[in-house]
Chains A and B, each alone.
Chain A
Amino acid sequence: MRKYLLTGCEASAEASIHAGCKFYAGYPITPQNRFPEYMSKRLPEEGGVFIQAESEISAINMVFGASVCGFRALTSSSSPGISLKQEGISYLAGCELPAVIINMNRGGPGLGDVTPSQSDYFQATRGGGHGDYRTIVYAPWTVQELYDLTYFAFDVADKYRNPVLILADGILALIMESVKFKKIKKRFPKKNWALTGCKGRKPNSIKSLFLTPGILEKHNWKLYRKYKKIEEKEIKYERYFCEDADCLFVSFGTCARICYETIKILREKNFKVGLFRPITLWPFPYKELENTIERMKKIIVVEMNLGQMIDDVKIANKKNLPIYFYGRPGGGVPTPEEIYRFFISHLVGKKDKLWK
């Protein structure tokens, strides 16, 4: 099968086109500028609409409009831009509209920097905007997986009528890797709810406002049932070297890939370490992580932030194992060797019974 050498931005953009995305709106921000640039050329070639919006606020509301009339729609940005999109994402969730949003996470807070980061974990997994809602969040670790998950995200968004977020970072946005393409989608779910003009049917409306007492509460419970179903059905994760491991690395996205290299070094030195990598950050694979640590003694969480995923790891850590953390916030990217050194000095100390 043919392979293509693409940056993460290009691969994700191409995946969206293969998935039948017909609308993109975005606003330039480093490190994802290649995304709108690529879409500006490719999407019109495929009969879609590209708009360079005047702001991220406008871009997400254009995506809202595209979704309202039943089209598969996408926006991409990086952290400060994703903050601006949050009101729109909340509206998408409230109106039960599908859409895909890509965040090539950069360092924050504020303007931060333009280097890779995972500091938007809380924002991505806890809803981000106002109201009791959830977005499905995928965290790819290779350009291929970024392609695959973008392609898949549109189906999931349509299936649940819910926004789906892809939390990648500046590394995945910019590195080039070879990518295998999937088939171009031709068949899509029917959207009877979409606004297309009321010819031959009663008028449709899209709204998140429910002023009659009790109705909004009902609407929220309906969303809750949907989220429960997503938690049941949509969890994705991967495990490596876990069969005989007594210490577990938990890490996601690019950082998990770096940990994978550290683990190879550690394994050569006979340390029995494994890796657990959540692919869906929401819904988080709590049960699966809980089962994985069954026979383990220690957990080490590695993230390119100040430890935002630890909260979720703690929920899964019913055994109360000690949790160690190695993090690089503010755009810092760890090397496999530095994680190895941290491991040796903190987890294999003199007092440590595990690896004497």
Chain B
Amino acid sequence: MEVVYKKPESLKDETIIYCPGCGHGIIHRLIAEVVDELGIREKTIGVAPVGCAVVAYNFFNFDVTESAHGRAPAVATAIKRLLPDRIVFTYQGDGDLAAIGTSEIIHAAARGENITVVFVNNAIYGMTKGQMAPTTIPGMKTTTTIEGRNVKYHGYPLKVCELLSQIDGVYYVERTSIDSIPNIIKTKQSIRKAFKYQIENKGFSLVEILSPCPINWKMTPKESMDWIRDVMSKYFVLGVFKDKGG
């Protein structure tokens, strides 16, 4: 019998501990599939963030290190510079990448580091249970914006792809979503492209993925997916913002 679907080798046989309906599990799987398909598992080094995905080393079946909150791009920079034939990626949430770690991501991008960044935008601080993130969209309720984000008071969200696409050192940036099967398939293609560019020594790539956080959004998993499609992706428009290779 032909096997058409199985656990990727790049995932350990561990129970995923993320909340029901969380997007991290899907994205972990997509990365694992891509790493398997590119045949790079034994030379991949992942850099986990501080955020819900801090425990990524429990799930990925390759070398993974922790990094301080927001500093994954600095950690990845050193690893890649010292081991240029390894494949190095960071996995970061929006608080990690777009608030406390803004400086590190911008400068890694500006240096044109040959790394891949998987940026999971769930518009909220998941791990600390639902405070406003730099990507919380206007009007959205969080535990620190209980009336909804008021841009006059709380300021505007940061659009990371738009920002990074302006930087000369960046090779490829795309925003995708995992709100539907077609979009999940597209997200996988984007992650694969970002890893391929690294293998080809093209430089800095980032894939931003709009991802559900039903528990903190106080929605069901289904409502979360609908909300990404109907609301979140209207503010964070999907698409390729820069692709020097295509």
Residues of A within 8 A of B (CB): 22-23, 25, 49, 51, 53-55, 57-59, 61-66, 68-69, 71, 73, 87-88, 91, 95, 195-200, 203-209, 211
Given that A58-B104, A64-B75 are contacting pairs, would A23 and B66 also be in contact in the complex, using a CB cutoff of 8 Å? no
Given that A63-B78, A64-B78 are contacting pairs, would A57 and B55 also be in contact in the complex, using a CB cutoff of 8 Å? no
Q: CB-nearest residue of chain A relative to B86?
A: A197
Interface flag for B149 (CB, 8 Å): no
B68 CB to closest chain A CB (Å) equals 5
Beyond the given pairs A51-B111, A205-B63, 8 more chain A to chain B contacts, judged by CB atoms under 8 angstroms and listed by A's residue number, are: A59-B74, A61-B67, A61-B74, A64-B71, A68-B65, A69-B86, A95-B66, A197-B86
Given that A58-B107, A61-B75, A198-B42 are contacting pairs, would A88 and B68 also be in contact in the complex, using a CB cutoff of 8 Å? yes
Q: Are A73 and B78 in contact (CB under 8 A)?
A: yes
Q: A71 to chain B: which residues have CB within 8 Å? A: 82
Q: B103 to chain A: which residues have CB within 8 Å? A: 54-55, 57-58
Distance of A333 Cα from B42 Cα, bound (Å): 55
Q: Are B83 and A69 in contact (CB under 8 A)?
A: yes
Given A57, A69, A203, which contacts B61 in the complex, CB threshold below 8 Å? A203
Interface flag for B64 (CB, 8 Å): yes
Given B64, B71, B83, B106, which contacts A196 in the complex, CB threshold below 8 Å? B83
Interface flag for B227 (CB, 8 Å): no
Given that A205-B63, A207-B66 are contacting pairs, would A23 and B82 also be in contact in the complex, using a CB cutoff of 8 Å? yes
Given that A58-B103, A209-B54 are contacting pairs, would A195 and B66 also be in contact in the complex, using a CB cutoff of 8 Å? no
28 sample A-B contacts, Cβ–Cβ < 8 Å, listed by A number = A49-B78, A53-B107, A54-B103, A55-B103, A57-B104, A58-B71, A58-B103, A58-B104, A61-B75, A62-B75, A64-B68, A64-B71, A65-B75, A65-B77, A68-B78, A73-B78, A195-B79, A196-B86, A197-B42, A197-B62, A200-B42, A203-B62, A203-B63, A205-B66, A206-B65, A207-B57, A208-B66, A211-B55
Q: Which of B45-104 contact A (CB under 8 A)?
A: 45, 47, 54-55, 57, 60-68, 71, 74-79, 81-83, 86, 103-104
Distance of A55 Cα from B47 Cα, bound (Å): 20
Q: Are A65 and B66 in contact (CB under 8 A)?
A: no
Distance of A43 Cα from B180 Cα, bound (Å): 50
Interface flag for B43 (CB, 8 Å): yes
Q: Are A51 and B77 in contact (CB under 8 A)?
A: yes
Given that A54-B103, A88-B71 are contacting pairs, would A195 and B78 also be in contact in the complex, using a CB cutoff of 8 Å? no
Q: Are A195 and B65 in contact (CB under 8 A)?
A: yes
Q: Are A51 and B43 in contact (CB under 8 A)?
A: no
Distance of A55 Cα from B74 Cα, bound (Å): 10
Which 7 A-B residue pairs are closest in the complex by CB-CB distance? A65-B78, A65-B75, A205-B57, A61-B74, A61-B71, A197-B43, A199-B42
Given that A198-B62, A208-B66 are contacting pairs, would A54 and B104 also be in contact in the complex, using a CB cutoff of 8 Å? yes
- Number of B interface residues in the complex (CB < 8 A): 34
Q: CB-nearest residue of chain A relative to B17?
A: A211
Q: Are A205 and B65 in contact (CB under 8 A)?
A: yes
Q: CB-nearest residue of chain A relative to B64?
A: A205
Q: Which of the listed residues A55, A57, A199, A205 has the most CB atoms from chain B within 10 Å of its own CB? A: A205
Q: A23 to chain B: which residues have CB within 8 Å? A: 78, 81-82
B182 CB to closest chain A CB (Å) equals 32
Q: Are A62 and B83 in contact (CB under 8 A)?
A: no
Given that A54-B104, A69-B82 are contacting pairs, would A198 and B41 also be in contact in the complex, using a CB cutoff of 8 Å? yes
Residues of B within 8 A of A (CB): 41-45, 47, 54-55, 57, 60-68, 71, 74-79, 81-83, 86, 103-104, 106-107, 111
Q: CB-nearest residue of chain A relative to B58?
A: A205
Given that A73-B78, A88-B71, A205-B57 are contacting pairs, would A195 and B104 also be in contact in the complex, using a CB cutoff of 8 Å? no
Distance of A208 Cα from B104 Cα, bound (Å): 21
Q: A87 to chain B: which residues have CB within 8 Å? A: 68
Q: Are B78 and A66 in contact (CB under 8 A)?
A: yes
B193 CB to closest chain A CB (Å) equals 22
Given that A58-B104, A197-B44, A209-B54 are contacting pairs, would A49 and B82 also be in contact in the complex, using a CB cutoff of 8 Å? yes
Q: Are B75 and A68 in contact (CB under 8 A)?
A: yes
Q: B83 to chain A: which residues have CB within 8 Å? A: 69, 196-197
A196 CB to closest chain B CB (Å) equals 7
Q: A197 to chain B: which residues have CB within 8 Å? A: 42-45, 62-63, 83, 86
Q: A64 to chain B: which residues have CB within 8 Å? A: 67-68, 71, 74-75, 78
Distance of A22 Cα from B64 Cα, bound (Å): 21
Q: Which of the listed residues B61, B63, B76, B78 has the most CB atoms from chain A within 10 Å of its own CB? A: B78
Given that A69-B45, A88-B68 are contacting pairs, would A51 and B81 also be in contact in the complex, using a CB cutoff of 8 Å? yes
Distance of A254 Cα from B86 Cα, bound (Å): 44
A30 CB to closest chain B CB (Å) equals 22
Distance of A68 Cα from B86 Cα, bound (Å): 14
Distance of A91 Cα from B86 Cα, bound (Å): 24
A23 CB to closest chain B CB (Å) equals 6
Q: B67 to chain A: which residues have CB within 8 Å? A: 61, 64-65, 91
Q: Are A209 and B79 in contact (CB under 8 A)?
A: no
